[in-house]
Amino acid sequence: MFNIFKRAGNRFFGVGEADTSVPVFDGALKPNNLLDTAELFLEQPGLEDMVVDSQGRLVVASGQEIFQVESTGITQQIAVLPNPIQAIATYDKGLVVATSEGLTFLGGEFDGKQLSTFDGQPFQCITALCEGSDGRLLIAQGSLNSEYENWAKDLLNLGKSGRLLSFDPKSGLTQVRAQGLAYCYGVCVDATRTIVSESWAHRISILKDQKIESGLSHIPGYPSRLSKASDGGFWLTVFAPRSQLLEFVLREDAFRSEMMQTVEPKYWISPALSSGNDFLEPLQQGGVRQMGVLKPWAPARSYGLVLRLSPGLVPLYSLHSRVGGLHHGIVSALEFEGALLVLSKGSGRILRAPLAELKP
CATH of the domain at 204: 2.120.10.30
Q: Distances from the Cα of 19 to the Cαs of 55, 148, 243, 253, in angstroms?
A: 49, 29, 12, 15
**287 in any annotated domain:** no
Q: How far apart are CA 98 and CA 287, in angstroms?
A: 36
**351 in any annotated domain:** yes
Question: Is this model's pTM higher than 0.85 or not?
Answer: yes
pLDDT at 124: 86
Q: How far apart are CA 21 and CA 227, in angstroms?
A: 29
pLDDT at 2: 46
| Domain count across the chain | 1
What is the block-wise mean pLDDT of the chain (360 residues), using blocks of 10 residues? 50 54 87 94 94 93 94 86 95 93 91 85 91 90 94 96 93 90 94 92 87 87 96 94 92 94 93 82 65 71 94 95 92 95 96 89
**283 in any annotated domain:** no
pLDDT at 11: 54
**4 in any annotated domain:** no
Domain that residue 199 falls in? 25-274+298-357
Q: Distances from the Cα of 6 to the Cαs of 12, 106, 254, in angstroms?
A: 10, 56, 21
